[in-house]
Amino acid sequence: MPPVSYFAAMAQEMEGLRNRRDGDGSLELSPSVVYIEACENYQKQSYRNRCRFYAADGVQALSYPIIHEGGTHKLPISEIRIDWSTQWLQQHERAIISAYRTSAYFEYYQDELFAILESRPEKLLDLNMALLRFFIEKTGLAIDLRMTQNFSRDGVQSSPDGTAVICEDLREAIHPKRQDTILEDLKLAKPYFQVFASKHGFKSNLSIMDLLFNEGPDSIVYLKSIGR
């Protein structure tokens, strides 16, 4: 469940954004191609198995435990398995409910989100991709999501027809131990409603679930600065 800056970066690459005036007032988006690195070795203490959310006591973190066998830093991300032997899933769900049950849109999304978690996929990458697709759909982003077929240090990937695609490489840009400037650079560093803002103030760049549960269908408006 990546931070808002992760989705803001994807949103800025969407082309052909325009208001349709065909009776329903919906948005028409030409999708951008986003490659997810599926051929790297696992990186500890990253957003690959954790997220930050807004609880009654302030910003908290959730992390998904993985199975450590022979040192995970040398294992491909595609081989990392989730440790389902403890009760962490129930603890995570209780924490999310406690934090967001009074938010405007939590009840619209909680069942589907929890169903993804409760499907208990074996591999971390499978869970991450399922969650990523869920949040892309619910925030309204038009994304052609693909996984890399090989590891490239310079970010060059191959399209389905075999031609080389030069990508903007953001693999190291978004990390819980380093503050990124993506929202500031895109002029998206602005507040939206948060349940506990009156108590602790606005907290920027939390998990995308914070934006979705509080803004719902208007998440795309925030990510694209539409009409703002």
Mutual orientation of helices 4-11 and 208-215 as an angle, nearest 10°? 80
- Quick check: 3 pLDDT over 80? yes
Query: In this model, does residue 20 exceed pLDDT 80?
Result: no
- What's residue 166's pLDDT? 75
How does residue 30 score in pLDDT terms, banded at 50, 70 and 90?
low
pLDDT at 216 over 50: yes
Task: Give strand pairing partners of 187.
Answer: none
Q: What's the pLDDT score for residue 13? A: 64
pLDDT at 27: 52
Average pLDDT score over the chain? 87
Cα distances (angstroms) measured from residue 222 to each of 115, 186, 187, 191, 193: 26, 11, 11, 9, 11
Express each pLDDT in 37-49 by its tens digit: 998 888 888 999 9
How far is Cα of residue 24 from the mean position of the Cα atoms in its chain? 28
Please report, rounded to a whole number, the percentage of residues in the chain having pLDDT higher than 90. Answer: 59
The model's pTM is 0.86
Confidence at residue 25, expressed as pLDDT on a 0 to 100 scale = 54
Instruction: Determine the average pLDDT of the residues in 195-224.
Output: 95
Please give the Cα distance from 188 to 224 (Å, whole number): 8
Residue with tokens 């400037």: 181
pLDDT reading at 29 higher than 50:
yes
Q: What would the 3-class secondary structure string for 138-170 be? A: HHCCCEEEEECCCCCCCCEEECCCCCEEECCCC
DSSP string, 34-60: EEE--SSBP-TTSGGGEEEEEETTEEE
**What pLDDT shows up at residue 18?**
43
* 48, 77 contact by CB (below 8 A): yes
- Band (pLDDT 50/70/90 cuts) for residue 116 is very high
| Res 161: pLDDT | 67
Give residues with Cβ within 8 angstroms of 70, minimum separation 6: none
d(CA 23, CA 6): 32
